[in-house]
């Protein structure tokens, strides 16, 4: 969905967009939508600045950081982003620097704003940096890749506690 900038009035205009599972690819192979996503908000216009405020509801399937099992993360996130025409950003270099640091500013090109892009960015921003399938996830064995939540592997058993290894050395010396 796109918002046509020319059609916006000074007063705010409501907008809403729903995405089925395959309608909003998150452009990251480790995550995808796990439910329909809903975007709702209002757009207000002040000269060439368009402010979009609203909220996004979605759940996203990500991979557990330790074992890569799928984890469903429900998201309910608010956004408040002010769009400026891309020309306005490039002309005023100083303003651009300020705005690049600020996640609440974005640029639009041409005469419309891409709400799909907004939704995708806001979902990615809202996701926690680390996600575990459960607090005590054991992860994968770094040697053989076995899922240590469901089984133990030979490499794990062969790993010798360094204290015992030292003792074994001492015993060898006694002989």
- Residues at the interface with Zn ion (CB under 5 A): 64, 66-67, 69, 133, 137, 141, 143-144, 146, 153, 155
From the list 11, 17, 36, 7, the residue with the least C-alpha distance to 114 is 17
Nearest distance, CB of residue 77 and Zn ion, angstroms: 24
Strands (E), the chain: 2-4, 13-19, 32-33, 37-46, 49-63, 70-85, 105-108, 112-114
Nearest distance, CB of residue 159 and Zn ion, angstroms: 9
Nearest distance, CB of residue 64 and Zn ion, angstroms: 3
Phi, psi of 80 (to 5 degrees): -155, 95
Q: Which is nearer to Zn ion, 8 or 69 (CB)?
A: 69
Q: Which is nearer to Zn ion, 88 or 153 (CB)?
A: 153
Q: Which is nearer to Zn ion, 27 or 161 (CB)?
A: 161
The label of the residue with tokens 């005023």 reads 92
Which helix (H) or strand (E) is 133 found in, with range? none
Q: Which is nearer to Zn ion, 1 or 141 (CB)?
A: 141
The label of the residue with tokens 């408040």 reads 80
Nearest distance, CB of residue 109 and Zn ion, angstroms: 40
């Amino acid at each position: 969905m796109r918002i046509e900038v020319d059609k916006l009035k000074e007063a705010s205009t409501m907008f809403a967009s729903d995405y089925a599972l395959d309608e909003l690819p998150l452009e990251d192979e480790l995550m995808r939508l796990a439910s329909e996503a809903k975007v709702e908000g209002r757009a207000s216009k002040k000269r060439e600045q368009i402010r979009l405020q609203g909220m996004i509801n979605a759940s996203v399937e990500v991979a557990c950081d330790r074992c890569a099992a799928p984890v469903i993360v429900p998201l309910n996130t608010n956004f408040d982003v002010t769009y400026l025409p891309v020309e306005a950003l490039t002309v005023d270099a100083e303003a651009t620097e300020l705005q690049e640091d600020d996640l609440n500013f974005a640029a639009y090109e041409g005469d419309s704003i891409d709400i799909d892009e907004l939704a995708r960015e806001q979902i990615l921003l809202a996701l926690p940096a680390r996600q575990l399938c459960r607090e005590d996830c054991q992860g994968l064995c770094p040697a053989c890749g076995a899922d240590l939540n469901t089984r133990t592997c030979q490499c794990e058993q062969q790993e010798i506690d360094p204290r015992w290894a030292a003792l074994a050395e001492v015993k060898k010396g006694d002989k």
